[in-house]
Amino acid sequence: MHSFGYRANALLTFAITILALMCAMASLSDNLNSPTPSAEVLVLNINWFQKQPNGNDEVSMTLNISADLQSLFTWNTKQVFVFLAAEYETPKNSLNQISLWDGIIPSKEHSKFWIHTSNKYRFIDQGSNLRSKEFNLTLHWHVMPKTGKMFADKMDADP
């Protein structure tokens, strides 16, 4: 019974079990990392403001986004997805979140950046509440690991 095939099968099974265990440990090791990212977004200009025919407000702005997300990267990080959301309150919705810009950061070397851009996605309100409305700019991120648990968090990006 102790044949070539039997030994190869036993070895492969044991090797893959250990591999799964190593991946689990790699995922758990991410908890040892306590990230301290920083981000600042400046609204440089309101390019235009319009009321759409259906009554919704739409704004175009020029943004300057600078962020240092290097501390989010560990040895088990595949990539990081970030998006900038405008958050505000209206009578209709207690929380409006509108994504203005997003990006995929493929490596630690690219995680300290600044970008000068107008909003990538249209900033349209559900209604006509945007005129002289205060809103918070919040940077959200999702850390995608090579193995294991995905982490997500956010921070206030107002200067």
Partner 1 sequence: MDWQGQKLAEQLMQLLLLAFAVVAFATGYFIGSFQMMILIYAGGVILTSLITVPNWPFFNRHPLKWLDPSEDEKHPKPQHSVTSNSKKKSKK
CB 62 within 8 A of CB 123: no
Quick one: which segment of 18-26, 45-53, 84-92, 93-101 binds partner 1 (CB under 8 A)? 18-26
CA distance 32 to 30: 5
Q: Does 44 bind partner 1 (CB under 8 A)?
A: no
Q: Does 149 bind partner 1 (CB under 8 A)?
A: no
Q: Does 61 bind partner 1 (CB under 8 A)?
A: no
| Type of residue at 144 | M
Q: Does 15 bind partner 1 (CB under 8 A)?
A: yes
Q: Is the dihedral of CA 26, 28, 33, 35 positive or negative?
A: positive
DSSP letter at 99?
A: E
The minimum distance between CB 147 and partner 1, in angstroms, equals 8
Binding mask 70-109 toward partner 1 (x if CB under 8 A, else -) reads ----xxx---------------------------------
Query: For the chain, first and last CA: distance in Å?
Result: 71
DSSP letter at 120?
A: S
For 81, the 3-state DSSP assignment is: strand
Q: Which is nearer to partner 1, 127 or 148 (CB)?
A: 148
75: left (phi over 0), alpha (psi -120 to 50) or beta: alpha
Q: Which is nearer to partner 1, 77 or 119 (CB)?
A: 77
Q: Which is nearer to partner 1, 7 or 51 (CB)?
A: 7
Report the interface residues with partner 1, using CB under 8 A: 2, 4, 7-8, 10-11, 14-15, 18-19, 21-22, 25-26, 29, 74-76, 146
